[in-house]
Structure 1
Amino acid sequence: MAVPKKKTSKSKRDMRRSHDALSAPGVSVCPQCKEPKQPHRVCGTCGTYKGREIVPTEEI
């Protein structure tokens, strides 16, 4: 079995984990309803993408 010869220092351990942080997803504003949405995706509120209605929504 492979066993480490020396203890990994806190510095080396933390340097290895430096790229593991999560980043927040990008957010843009829908031009139709001004609600926040992810870029390059259909708006979940009004159902439009690039000015066209993709998902029909019910009007109350």
Structure 2
Amino acid sequence: MAFGRSGGQTTQHRTVTNVRANTNGVYDVTVTMPPGTTLTVTPTRLTFNTQRKTLGYSITV
């Protein structure tokens, strides 16, 4: 994912689909950014409880 130098805040929205054979999955966000850069992911946890379930998240930088 790439973000341009807009000089302001930019948000991108993404969706992901659980393809695990074991239908349960929990994924937590971990972000490492260079000094002076702020990145926010919402929500910070995705919890899948069925196969082929689709969830969304947003990234703001």
- Greater strand share, structure number: 2
RCO greater where, 1 or 2, for CA within 8 Å and sep 6 or more? 2
User: Greater helix share, 1 or 2?
Assistant: 1
TM-score in terms of structure 2 length: 0.19
Which structure: larger Rg? 1
TM-score by length of 1: 0.20
